[in-house]
A = this chain, B = another copy of it.
Amino acid sequence: MPHIVAIGGSDAGISAALRARELDPSVEVTVVVADRYPNFSICGIPYYFSGEVQPWQSLAHRTAADLEATGMRLRLDTLATEIDADGKRLVVRNADGSLHVISYDELVVGTGALPSRAGIDGLDALTAADGVHVIHSMGDTFALDADLEARRPETAIIVGAGYVGLEMAEAFTARGIRVTQLQRGPEVLSTLDPELGALVHEELAAHDVEVVVGAAVGRIEKTAAGLSVSGVRDGEPFTRTADLVLVVVGVRPNAELLERAGATLGAGGAVVVDERMRTGIPHVYSAGDGTVTRHRLLGTTYLPLGTTAHKQGRVAGENALGGDAVFAGSVGTQVVKVFDLVAARTGLRQREAEAAGYSPRTSTAAADDHKRYYPGAHPIRFRITGDVRDGRLLGAQLVGTLGTEVSKRVDTYATALYAGLTVEQLSELDLSYTPPLGSPWDAVQVAAQAWG
C-alpha cells in the first residue's frame, strides 16, 4: 500500500489528499499541517471580521473530523523542515520541538504563500502586539481579533487595495472602524482597468472609506499619536496616523522547502512544475500558491488563487496515485464583492495581452443585467479585450451592483476563453433569458457586440 504524504493543510494539500482517497480508498494518505487549522477557507476571513461569519470554526471547509472520516491521517502543529528526496523521507518538527521522519512513496508539497512585505521600512520590527497586522493564516486572524477586542481601535489604515484589502475595508467599516485605504497604483483594484477600478473607488468613498491612490508607502512607525504610515504621493510626502495598520499587499511563494530539496524556481520565485504538477524531483509534486501557474493565454506565470490551488492539488493527488491528470490551466478568473458592488475579470487586459505578443483591442460597454422594464435593473460596465488578427476573445472585465449576477456572468467569458472562442462567437451562444434576470441578447453578448 503506497503512502502519499501531502504537506500543507490548505487548498492544494487537502485537495490532493482528498483526490487520492477518493480514487483509491485503500491508499495511505498523511497530511502534514503546520498549524491546528486544516482546510480553513482563508478567503472567508474578511467575513469573520465583518461579523457575517461566526464563529471562526465555521470557516472550515471541512472539520478535522470530516477529513479523517475520508481515511486520511492529519499531523497537526507539524512543520515540514526537510525533504530527503533520495531516501523518500520527510523530516518534520513536532509542536514540542522534536524531529520526526516520515517515509513517503509520493510527496505533494502545498506550502502555499507568505504575505508580502513590499519593502516597507519599519514593518519587520512591528508585530500584531504593536497593532500592525498581516492576514494570511488563522494565526493572523486570532491575533487581529484579539487586538480588536483588547484595544477597540477607532481608526485603521489598510495598506493595499487588492481583493483582501477591499474586503477588509468593508469588514472594518461594518464594525464601525474608520478606514483609510492606501494604494500604490493609480486606482484601487489594480487587477482591473482604472476605468472600472474607479467604480470600486466610488463605492468605497460612498461608505466613508478614505481612499488615497498613488500613495507609495515607505515607512510604518509607532508614535505617540498612534501608528504612523508615511510615504510619497505625487512627489509630495504624506503621512496618515491610525490606531491599527493592516498590510495586505499580496503574497510571495513559500518555496524554500522545495528549493532546498533541489526544485527549480521560476515565475515570481515559485516552484517550477510541468502540467502534471511534477517538480522534476522524483516522486515530488508541487501545487498551489507556492507553485507556478500554467495560464492558457500566457503560458507559465505566477498567479496564486484558491481555485487554481484546488485544481492543481486534485491533479497532483491523482498523479501521485499513478494517474495521468493534466492541469488544464488558469485563465485568471477573479471576482470580489465590495459593499454593494461586484467586480470580476477573466483573461487578459490590453497591456497584459500586448506584453504577451497578442494584438489586442479593448472596448467599453454598459448593458443592463435584465430588461429595464422589470424592477431592479442595473447597468453592468464591461471592458472586452480581443485580438484584432483573429478575433479571439482575450479577456473581459465587468463591474455591477450586487445581484446582477456579475460573478456567474464572468464565467461565460471564462468558459469561452477555455474553449478559445472569438468575440463574435459570444453572440452565437444560446444564453438564458427571462425578463427578471436577463435580456434576449444577454449583457455579456451586448458587450461583445460593442467590440466588433
Residue ranges of A at the interface with B (Cβ–Cβ < 8 Å): 11, 41, 43-44, 47, 52-53, 58-59, 61, 163, 296, 306-311, 314, 328-337, 342, 344, 346, 371, 373-375, 403, 405, 407-412, 414-419, 421, 425, 427-438, 440-442, 444
Query: A330 CB to closest chain B CB, in angstroms?
Result: 5
Judge whether A414 and B431 touch: CB under 8 Å.
Answer: yes
Residue of B nearest to A373 (CB): B58
A442 to B405 Cα, complex, angstroms: 14
Q: How many copies does the complex hold?
A: 2
| Given A314-B427, A415-B419, 7 additional A-B pairs, CB 8 A | A11-B440, A307-B433, A310-B440, A335-B433, A407-B438, A411-B412, A411-B444
A308 to B428 Cα, complex, angstroms: 10
A296 to B334 Cα, complex, angstroms: 31
Judge whether B409 and A429 touch: CB under 8 Å.
Answer: no
A432 is contacted by which of B44, B407, B418 (Cβ under 8 Å)? B407
Contacts of A415 in B (CB 8 A): 412, 415-416, 419, 429, 431
A409 to B431 Cα, complex, angstroms: 10
Judge whether A44 and B435 touch: CB under 8 Å.
Answer: yes
Contacts of A444 in B (CB 8 A): 411
A selection of 12 A-B contacts at a CB cut-off of 8 Å is A41-B373, A43-B433, A58-B373, A307-B433, A328-B428, A333-B431, A337-B436, A342-B437, A403-B403, A405-B407, A411-B432, A415-B431
Judge whether A431 and B411 touch: CB under 8 Å.
Answer: yes
Contacts of A11 in B (CB 8 A): 440
Query: A66 CB to closest chain B CB, in angstroms?
Result: 13
- With A371-B41, A440-B307 known as contacts, the answer to whether A333 contacts B432 (CB < 8 A) is yes
What 9 pairs between A and B have smallest CB-CB spacing?
A419-B419, A328-B428, A335-B432, A408-B408, A407-B437, A415-B415, A405-B408, A58-B373, A333-B430
Query: A308 CB to closest chain B CB, in angstroms?
Result: 7
Judge whether A436 and B47 touch: CB under 8 Å.
Answer: yes
Contacts of A441 in B (CB 8 A): 307, 310
- With A52-B374, A337-B434 known as contacts, the answer to whether A429 contacts B408 (CB < 8 A) is no
Judge whether B44 and A430 touch: CB under 8 Å.
Answer: no
A428 is contacted by which of B373, B418, B431, B438 (Cβ under 8 Å)? B418
A409 is contacted by which of B58, B337, B408, B442 (Cβ under 8 Å)? B408
Residue of B nearest to A410 (CB): B432
Judge whether B432 and A41 touch: CB under 8 Å.
Answer: no
A411 is contacted by which of B41, B427, B429, B435 (Cβ under 8 Å)? B429
Contacts of A328 in B (CB 8 A): 425, 428
Judge whether B346 and A437 touch: CB under 8 Å.
Answer: no
A332 to B433 Cα, complex, angstroms: 11
Contacts of A329 in B (CB 8 A): 428, 430
Judge whether A43 and B430 touch: CB under 8 Å.
Answer: no
A373 is contacted by which of B59, B429, B431, B442 (Cβ under 8 Å)? B59
Contacts of A434 in B (CB 8 A): 43, 163, 335-337, 407
Contacts of A409 in B (CB 8 A): 408, 411
Judge whether A306 and B440 touch: CB under 8 Å.
Answer: yes
Contacts of A52 in B (CB 8 A): 374-375
A412 to B413 Cα, complex, angstroms: 9
Judge whether B306 and A430 touch: CB under 8 Å.
Answer: no
- With A52-B374, A374-B53, A421-B419 known as contacts, the answer to whether A307 contacts B430 (CB < 8 A) is yes
- With A58-B373, A405-B407, A419-B419 known as contacts, the answer to whether A334 contacts B432 (CB < 8 A) is yes
Residue of B nearest to A308 (CB): B430
Contacts of A59 in B (CB 8 A): 373
Contacts of A306 in B (CB 8 A): 433, 440
Chain B CB within 10 A, most for which of A41, A333, A419, A436: A436
A89 to B444 Cα, complex, angstroms: 39
Query: A384 CB to closest chain B CB, in angstroms?
Result: 15
A183 to B414 Cα, complex, angstroms: 39
